[in-house]
Structure 1
Amino acid sequence: MCTSTTTPGKGSIVKAGDAMGFKQLFDDDSSTYTYLLWDPATKDAIIVDPVDIQVDRDLKEMEALGLHLVYGVNTHAHADHITGTGLLKSKLPGLQSVIAEASRAKADIPVRHGDKIVFGSRSVTVRATPGHTEGCLSYVADDESFVLTGDALLIQGCGRTDFQGGSAEKLFHSVHAQLFTLPDETIVYPAHDYKGRTSSKMGDEKKTNPRLGGGKTKEEFVEIMKNLNLAYPKKIDVAVPANMRCGVPDVA
């Protein structure tokens, strides 16, 4: 379990219906969504999937909101951009990096399925959702109002499964066992979107996702993924090694 370094004071009780602080940010170059989540009472916060070239923007957003960043969290070791976690750590003493233990990436805190990342009196629960990569995680809000799905489940799509230990069979199981079991009203916030969409609802993805929804069988999904014929990611040879260090520069 990840525990906040600050102790919530008076007024930090979470009441039914209280919303977690939330802001979605976008990087045009990689079509990546970065998420700021925080406890409105204590202002303790986490950032999920930061992008290196957007760190200055993220710092300004946090300063404007009066946030104290506790953890820099990644859904997986991305292949299309370098995480901003390393740069954030250099600018914010005490910040700790978080990534899946299964990714075998270096981080201050490796997490696994069932762990909770706590900030103030709020938290997200870690769900292992491998398939796009071996170390993919999704993060479910403490009230299940939303889930950050990384590349496991995109809006009307999903991440590719042809490198970094990817497996269409594993991804099918992950989505059906860990994501489609959430309430239909749970909002889906992915790591990427290429058509200007910001979110979806789990019920809609279950019904209409062209790859995974509408009663698609595992065999049908595997066949779909086998025939995508996607181009090799432009930044993979630079991004993946850097992200295996959570964005910390290679001093060697």
Structure 2
Amino acid sequence: MIFRQLFDPASSTYTYLLGDKASGEALIIDPVFEHQRRDAALLRELGLRLLATLDTHVHADHVTGAWGLKQRCGSQILLSEQAGAQNADRLLKSGERVFFGARYLEVRATPGHTHGCLSYVLDDHSMAFTGDSLLIRGCGRTDFQQGSPQQLYQSVQSQILSLPEACLLYPGHDYRGLTVTSVAEERRFNPRLGGEVNEADFTGYMNNLGLPHPKLMDIAVPANLRCGRPSEDSDAAVEQTWAPLTFTFSGIWEIQPTVLAELAADVQLIDVREPAEFSDALGHIAGARLLPLSQLAAHAAELAAAGRPVVAICRSGTRSAQATVLLQKSGLAQVANLAGGMLRWRAEQLPVVGNAAQ
């Protein structure tokens, strides 16, 4: 099985990808709207086909990427029948199974944080994805979205902490950098739900948290009740349409050498190598401007004022990838990295100038 744990630093949300290597089928749990391209890029790079996204609940602190991934990947949207959401393809009940290749996730209803909370347990009970119902040494709050401390206590005890002690538990969030726990650890060390804590102890604790509501709640909840589908009056997500580009898992827009060869006259070619490399054995692309990476920031406004897309170039694509990040932070929207750099350009037998042309 292929497994990846991904992170959104803005909301401290974990997204999980599970794939069956033999069939190439995959699921994603709790995708985040801002990371649709990242998740689609990872699926592509791992050779996986996304069957479905599964949200653990209607989130109040971020917008789900379920709708966006459906548009990109053709995946189905799955969440609890108790969530009250629109645009879902399948509404899940406790006890159902969601298959991906030869593997499956078991659906367990774990309400209490919200009325529609689900946890997903891997078929062999080696892993479980608990959303906000159980966090590492904590749990989700119970004071809005039909939350109930009594219900959450019963859910966690009967559906999560009843799993085998060695079962690894993966939460929906963590705010301290922790990534995984286990049933045994949470039974022993969770200060809210472990040890000798009973329902009365837990209820008293949760009813006196006094937390402010999440900052994005008024935006996130309505959006998630649409499964992340943008409202009709919202702006569409910005895409790079000036060339056929690829968005990599590392967050970089890339252009392939053969594509760049056709578009070179219409873009700004910026070679970020050092001067000695510009005319070394690899040569450089005709029309490219030498701007070493260390000097690039000083010329960002000038490049933006030219009004044409920028393609960054280096030997292997590593320094130029950093250049694209730098230029984007400087306000340039249309920026791409030459995939594989001059090494790929030469491997494609595309023309160069400099020592390599002699």
Give yes or no for TM over 0.5: yes
Alpha-carbon distance in structure 1 between the residues aligned to 2:227 and 2:93 = 16
Matched, 1:48 2:29: yes
Q: Which amino acid aligns with 2:232?
A: V
Q: Which residue of 2 aligns with 1:200?
A: 181
In structure 2, the residue corresponding to 1:103 is in which secondary structure? coil
Q: CA deviation at 1:232?
A: 1.0
Matched, 1:104 2:87: no
Identity level (%) = 50
Q: Which residue of 2 aligns with 1:32?
A: 13
Greater per-residue helix proportion: 2
What aligned pairs does 1:129-144 form with structure 2 within 5 A after superposition? 129-144=110-125
Q: CA deviation at 1:158?
A: 0.1
Alpha-carbon distance in structure 1 between the residues aligned to 2:121 and 2:73 = 25
Alpha-carbon distance in structure 2 between the residues aligned to 1:123 and 1:238 = 33
In structure 1, the residue corresponding to 2:69 is in which secondary structure? helix
In structure 2, the residue corresponding to 1:37 is in which secondary structure? strand
Q: Which residue of 2 aligns with 1:10?
A: none
Q: CA deviation at 1:108?
A: 0.7
Deviations 1:189-219 (A, max 9, x none): 0000000000001111011100000110100
Alpha-carbon distance in structure 1 between the residues aligned to 2:100 and 2:231 = 29
Instruction: Please report the TM-score for the alignment, with normalisation by the length of structure 1.
Output: 0.91
Q: Which residue of 1 aligns with 2:69?
A: 88
Does the CA contact (< 8 Å) of 2:76 and 2:90 recur in 1? yes
Deviations 1:80-104 (A, max 9, x none): 00000011111123x1100000111
Q: Which residue of 1 aligns with 2:48?
A: 67
Higher relative contact order (CA 8 A, sep 6+): 1
> Which has the greater radius of gyration?
2
Deviations 1:121-150 (A, max 9, x none): 110000000000000000000110000000
Alpha-carbon distance in structure 2 between the residues aligned to 1:110 and 1:251 = 24
Alignment size in residue pairs: 232
Q: CA deviation at 1:230?
A: 0.8
Instruction: Please report the TM-score for the alignment, with normalisation by the length of structure 2.
Output: 0.64
What aligned pairs does 1:204-243 form with structure 2 within 5 A after superposition? 204-243=185-224
In structure 2, the residue corresponding to 1:87 is in which secondary structure? helix
In structure 2, the residue corresponding to 1:232 is in which secondary structure? coil
Q: Which residue of 2 aligns with 1:13?
A: none
Q: Which amino acid aligns with 1:98?
A: L
The CA RMSD measured in Å over matched residues stands at 0.8
Q: CA deviation at 1:228?
A: 0.9
